């Protein structure tokens, strides 16, 4: 997951490949609650691991439910309708699928509970659900504004509930209120329980998910259209034993859109398909209407570009409230204005999504009209796209949708602010996107300089702050040197071809700060002075350098690379967007190296280190192939009198200067 303050997505051109998407949020949180309410053990496969499911799992643990994890499998010991912990204070983040159903379940389970969330959760309505529960005789108090969380739930005896008449619940603000009652009321089904929906029910397909999962847990709800639902007397939750969570159909919308927009051989999505129980799978109908080619099987989708530009659409999107946001960005690539109607619920979700989408689409240059329950997006022709810093309002879907703007015809980059908000439902969204998207030019920052100048520390830190990949090219030479020694070879012209062969086939993996050679952690062996000397010697062999060239360039991957070395800017990435030549006086470098070695318990003297450094500088700068020298377009940074932080800030400031975004 990207935890950087922003993520710059360079202009993207094509996309192709297969993605397996994380589990459905709506199914995961329903299954977790049902498994907790049921008797017996439920084994859940492919559960979504994200903020929304984590708050639900934490809540269940606080209620005394035992949850065991074994790899991707979760085993939940049901409470069988009896609380182990009669009071708790629960934090439910911004998860509607946790806050609403838990409110109903806890109001019936008979304990004292406080339910809170993030500030936005305290602005998301829950009054219609609390009203329905109060009619029944449940006791729920508002701890802040009436009609909104936080809530305090007090115990009532099930026998005291008024279950003789139908329970009335409004369905026109959120379907989650009806879902909450349907999931919780089997706890009190000594007699038939009737729920009547007041007002036009929105987001209807989510009720189908609820009914489907209730059925898997042994509860068959009778229904009369969307108006009346009856939970039969004697209903009892029965664990199905094993249950599998499909991949998330709303998350699939970004990759369906990607297939429709990007050039290339198309995108295959695994884990969700034509037989999905999730209503958002109907996004494929809208995508097809806009021109996408979509093939599907029970558990997979294959999407490729069809009509181009896309065809404009006018759609009542009430049945796909989450996925429809993706259409608002696809509309930028259409042949006329697109209108999404009947989407008033967008205003009470993670943020006011109609406002958010309109504001951010306008930043890209688009003309957008919006009203209480609709949005109309005009296409953005070539020549009119503007580089924009997209505010994400702590809304995962805003962040994910706007990544699709990077396919614009003007080759304009897109900056996504606070990209970590995708953690709500799809923590690795951007990594997944980058695994199938292709950028004509992946950004590179090169940091070259002599030994002990602090390149490594600076490069790692700049890469971390930008969310970029990191290439420590010196290590490649060190590993080659080590492989050479282990093969009994020497850095001499006679062995050059054999060393180059070794370099070409290096079984090398960088893993969490460790360097693995054929699976063996060789990080320590590479840090020795002898390994440094060998690296310097093998790097003077032209055939070895040629062998390592392709390997080094393969590190240039989305969203970008910071490369540290000696010839990054001059030879390996001559087209880099920023080249820094980092130096420090020999005296300062010797002193730093001295402190480093002494702290590791290695005894040495500053004078000998300085002599070594100077000898190495001379060898590196006078070798015939790629001698150590600044690229003509490099910016010089002498860090003799700088802290690491000052150097990092300087490099980041230079990088921002070459970006098209206004300072954010
Ligand atoms: O029941 C569910 O799992 C959901 C219902 C929908 O909410 P509304 O019914 O409030 O539209 C949807 O937007 C939300 O992401 C998940
Ligand atoms: C509306 C959403 O979430 P929630 O489940 O919190 O309502 C969403 O995921 O788009």
- For the CA of 173, the closest atom of ligand 1 is 10
d(CA 495, CA 590): 32
Per-residue pLDDT at 609: 92
% helix, strand, coil for the chain, step of 5: 40, 20, 35
In this structure, what DSSP letter does residue 246 have?
Answer: P
| Domains held by the chain: number | 4
Q: Specify the pLDDT at position 621.
A: 80
Q: Which residues contact 505 (CB under 8 A, 6 or more apart)?
A: none
Asked whether the predicted pLDDT for residue 625 surpasses 80, the reply is no
Each residue of 200-217: b (16+ CB within 10 Å) or e? ebbbebbbebbbebbebb
Is 215 part of any domain?
yes
Q: Which residues contact 417 (CB under 8 A, 6 or more apart)?
A: 5, 6, 389, 390, 391, 392, 664
Closest CA to 180 of 90, 110, 104, 289: 104
Summarize the confidence of residues 357-380 as an average pLDDT: 98
Distance CA 198, CA 128 (A): 10
Question: Are 266 and 310 members of one domain?
Answer: yes
Lowest mean pLDDT among 199-203, 464-468, 539-543: 539-543
Given a cut of 90, is residue 623 above it in pLDDT?
no
Rg of the chain over CA atoms, in angstroms? 30
Answer with the one of 533, 558, 583 that is the final residue of a domain.
Answer: 558
Sheet containing 41-45: give its strands across. 66-70, 73-77, 41-45, 242-244
- Which of 95, 170, 174, 397 has most ligand 1 atoms within 8 Å of CB, for mutation? 174
Confidence category of residue 91, pLDDT binned at 50, 70, 90:
very high
170 is a domain residue:
yes
Tokens of 394: 């702590």
- Residue 508 confidence class, pLDDT cut points 50, 70, 90: confident
pLDDT at residue number 626: 67
Contacts of 634 (CB under 8 A, 6+ apart): 446, 448, 569, 579, 580, 581
User: What is the pLDDT confidence band of residue 81, given thresholds at 50, 70 and 90?
Assistant: confident
* Cα-to-centroid distance, 244 and ligand 2 (Å): 21
Q: Confidence band (pLDDT; 50, 70, 90) for 455?
A: very high
pLDDT tens per residue across span 469-502: 999 988 999 999 999 999 999 999 999 999 999 9
| 146-158 pLDDT, tens digit each | 999 999 999 999 9
Per the annotation, the verdict on 638 as an active-site residue is no
Residue 533's domain comprises: 473-558
| pLDDT for 618 | 86
Q: Are 437 and 262 in contact (CB under 8 A)?
A: yes
For the record, the structure tokens of 143 come out as 């701890």
Give whichever of 200-214, 598-612, 619-633 has the largest mean pLDDT. Answer: 200-214
- Which residues define the annotated binding site for phosphoenolpyruvate? 25, 96, 124, 176, 353, 397, 424
How far is residue 627 from each of residues 94, 543, 546, 656, measured CA to CA in Å? 55, 15, 14, 29
How many other β-carbons are positioned within 10 Å of the β-carbon of residue 139?
A: 13
pLDDT digits (tens, 9 = 90+) for 33-78: 999 999 999 999 999 999 999 999 999 999 999 999 998 899 999 9
Closest by CA position to 585, among listed 628, 640, 636, 647: 640
Ligand 2 pocket test target in 29, 124, 205, 424 with most atoms within 8 Å of CB: 424
Distance set, CA 304 to CA 55, 111, 243 (Å) = 36, 53, 32
Beta strands in 305-412 (DSSP E): 314-316, 338-341, 368-371, 374-377, 388-390
For residues 66 and 453, give the distance between their C-alpha atoms in angstroms, rounded to a whole number: 53
pLDDT digits (tens, 9 = 90+) for 272-329: 999 999 999 999 999 999 999 999 999 999 999 999 999 999 999 999 999 999 999 9
- Would you say the ipTM is above 0.90? yes
Q: Are 540 and 580 in the same domain?
A: no
Rounded to whole angstroms, the Cα distance separating 234 from 573 reads 71
Considering only CA atoms, which of 540, 423, 433 is closest in space to residue 490? Answer: 540
Average pLDDT, the chain: 95
DSSP-derived pairing of the beta strands 242-244 and 41-45: parallel
Residue 310 lies in a domain: yes
Q: Residue 368: what pLDDT?
A: 98
Q: For residues 53 and 47, is the Cβ–Cβ distance under 8 A?
A: yes
Q: Which pLDDT value is given to residue 440? A: 96
* Residue 1 placed within a domain: no
**Domain shared by 511 and 589, yes or no:** no
Closest CA to 233 of 196, 195, 188: 188
User: With a 6 A CB cut-off, is 53 part of the ligand 1 pocket?
Assistant: no
Could you tell me if 414 and 449 lie in one domain? Answer: no
* pLDDT given for residue 451 in this prediction: 85
What's the pLDDT tens digit per position in 195-239?
A: 999 999 999 999 999 999 999 999 999 999 999 999 999 999 999
Cite the annotated binding site by residue number: 25-26, 30, 96, 124, 174-176, 203, 322, 349, 353, 397, 424, 449-457
Query: Which ligand is in closest contact with the Cα of 118?
Result: 2
Strand partners, 338: 377
Nearest-CA residue for ligand 2 atom 5 is 96
Q: How far apart are CA 6 and CA 387, in angstroms?
A: 14
d(CA 129, CA 445): 53
CA angle 199, 203, 207 (to 5 degrees): 90
Query: Which one is catalytic: 51, 322, 395, 472?
Result: 322
Supply the DSSP string of 380-411, one letter for each residue: --TT----EEE--TT-HHHHHHHHGGGG-TT-
Please indicate, yes or no, whether residues 354 and 486 belong to a single structural domain of this protein. Answer: no
Asked if 13 and 132 sit in the same domain, the reply is no
Give me the residue label for tokens 């040197």.
481
Same domain for 136 and 273? no
Residues 499 and 543 occupy one common structural domain: yes
The answer on 582 and 525 residing in a single domain is no
Answer for the pair 90, 113: CB distance below 8 angstroms, yes or no: yes
- Strand 388-390 to 414-417 pairing: parallel
With the most atoms of ligand 2 within 8 angstroms of its CB, the residue from 125, 350, 352, 429 to mutate is 350
What is the rounded CA–CA span in Å between residue 453 and residue 54? Answer: 43
- State the pLDDT confidence band at 619, using cuts at 50, 70 and 90: confident
Judge whether residue 664 has pLDDT over 80.
no
pLDDT at residue 639, rounded to an integer: 94
Record the tokens describing residue 230, joined without a space. Answer: 């009856």
Per-residue pLDDT of 340-354, as tens digits, reads 999 999 999 999 999
Which of the four pLDDT bands, split at 50, 70 and 90, describes residue 359?
A: very high
CA 212 to chain CA centroid, nearest Å: 28
Q: Please tell me the residue having the least CA distance from ligand 2 atom 7.
A: 96
Look at residues 215, 244, 273 and tell me which one is the last residue of a structural domain.
Answer: 244
Q: Which residue has the tokens 């939970």?
A: 231
DSSP letter assigned to residue 484: H
Q: What CATH number is attached to the domain comprising 541?
A: 3.40.50.300
Q: Over 90: is that where the pLDDT of 662 sits?
A: no
For tokens 């420590």, name the residue.
472
Confidence label for 663 from pLDDT (cuts 50, 70 and 90)? low
Residues forming beta bridges with residue 514, ordered by sequence position: 511
- Lowest-pLDDT range of 255-259, 570-574, 619-623, 636-640: 619-623
125 plus 140 within the same structural domain = yes
- End-of-domain residue from the set 523, 558, 593: 558
556 lines ligand 2 (CB under 6 A): no
Same domain as 190, residue 272: no
What string of DSSP letters covers 146-207?
TTSS-EEEE---GGGS--SSPEEEE-SS-THHHHHHHHHGGGGTTS-EEEEEESPPPSTHHH
Residues 352 and 232 in one domain: no
The pLDDT of residue 1 is 95
Looking at the domain assignment, is residue 184 inside a domain? yes
Rounded mean pLDDT, 559-563: 97
The pLDDT tens digits for 377-401 are: 999 999 999 999 999 999 999 999 9
| CATH classification at residue 75 | 3.65.10.10
């Amino acid at each position: 997951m990207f935890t950087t303050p922003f993520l710059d997505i360079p202009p993207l051109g094509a996309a192709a490949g297969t993605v397996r998407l994380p589990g459905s949020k709506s199914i995961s949180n329903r299954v977790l609650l049902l498994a907790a309410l049921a008797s017996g053990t439920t084994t859940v496969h492919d559960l979504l691991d994200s903020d929304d499911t984590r708050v639900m799992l934490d809540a269940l643990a606080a209620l005394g439910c035992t949850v065991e994890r074994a790899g991707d499998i979760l085993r939940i010991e049901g409470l069988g309708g009896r609380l182990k912990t009669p009071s708790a204070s629960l934090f439910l983040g911004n998860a509607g699928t946790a806050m609403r159903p838990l409110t109903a379940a806890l109001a019936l389970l008979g304990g004292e509970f406080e339910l809170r969330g993030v500030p936005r959760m305290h602005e998301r309505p829950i009054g219609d659900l609390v009203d329905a529960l109060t009619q029944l005789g449940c006791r729920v108090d508002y701890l802040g504004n009436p009609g909104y969380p936080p809530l305090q739930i007090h115990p009532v005896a099930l026998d005291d509930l008024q279950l003789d008449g139908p329970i009335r619940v409004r369905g026109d603000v959120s379907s989650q209120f009806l879902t909450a009652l349907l999931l919780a009321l089997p706890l009190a089904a000594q007699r038939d329980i009737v729920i009547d929906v007041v007002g036009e029910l929105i987001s209807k397909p989510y009720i189908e998910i609820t009914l489907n999962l209730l059925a898997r847990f042994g509860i068959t709800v009778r229904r009369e259209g969307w108006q009346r639902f009856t939970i039969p007397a004697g209903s009892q939750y029965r664990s199905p034993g094993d249950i599998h969570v499909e991949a998330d159909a709303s998350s699939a919308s970004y990759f369906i859109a990607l297939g429709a927009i990007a050039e290339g051989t198309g995108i295959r999505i695994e884990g969700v398909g034509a037989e999905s129980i999730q209503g958002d799978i109907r996004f494929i109908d809208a995508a097809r209407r806009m021109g996408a080619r979509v093939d599907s099987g029970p558990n997979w989708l294959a999407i490729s570009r069809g009509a181009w530009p896309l065809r404009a659409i006018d759609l009542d999107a009430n049945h796909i409230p989450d996925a429809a946001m993706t259409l608002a960005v696809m509309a930028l690539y259409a042949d006329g204005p697109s209108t999404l109607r009947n989407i008033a619920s967008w205003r009470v979700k993670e943020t006011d999504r109609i406002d958010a989408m309109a504001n951010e689409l306008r930043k890209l240059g688009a003309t957008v009209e919006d009203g209480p329950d609709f949005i109309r997006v005009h296409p953005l022709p070539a020549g009119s796209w503007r580089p924009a810093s997209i505010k994400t309002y702590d809304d995962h879907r805003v962040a994910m949708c706007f990544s699709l703007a990077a396919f614009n015809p003007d080759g304009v980059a897109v900056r996504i602010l606070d990209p970590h908000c995708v953690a709500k439902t799809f923590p690795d969204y951007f990594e997944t996107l980058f695994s199938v998207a292709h950028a004509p030019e992946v950004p590179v920052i090169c940091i070259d300089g002599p030994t002990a100048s602090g390149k490594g520390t600076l490069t790692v830190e700049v890469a971390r702050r930008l969310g970029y990949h990191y290439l420590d090219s010196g290590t490649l030479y060190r590993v080659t040197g080590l492989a050479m020694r282990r093969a009994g070879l020497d850095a001499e012209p006679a062995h050059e071809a054999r060393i180059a062969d070794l370099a070409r086939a290096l079984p090398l993996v960088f893993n969490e700060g460790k360097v693995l050679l054929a699976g063996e952690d060789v990080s320590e062996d590479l840090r020795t002075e002898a390994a440094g000397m060998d690296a310097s010697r093998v790097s003077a062999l032209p055939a070895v350098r040629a062998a390592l060239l392709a390997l080094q360039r393969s590190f240039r991957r989305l969203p970008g690379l910071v490369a540290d070395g000696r010839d990054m800017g001059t030879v390996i990435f001559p087209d880099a967007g920023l080249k820094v030549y980092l130096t420090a006086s020999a005296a300062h470098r010797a002193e730093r190296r001295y402190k480093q070695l002494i702290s590791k318990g290695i005894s040495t003297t500053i004078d000998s280190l300085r002599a070594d450094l100077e000898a190495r500088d001379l060898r590196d700068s006078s070798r015939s192939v790629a001698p150590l020298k600044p690229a003509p377009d490099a910016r010089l940074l002498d860090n003799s009198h700088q802290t690491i932080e000052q150097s990092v800030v300087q490099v980041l400031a230079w990088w921002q200067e070459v970006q098209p975004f206004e300072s954010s």
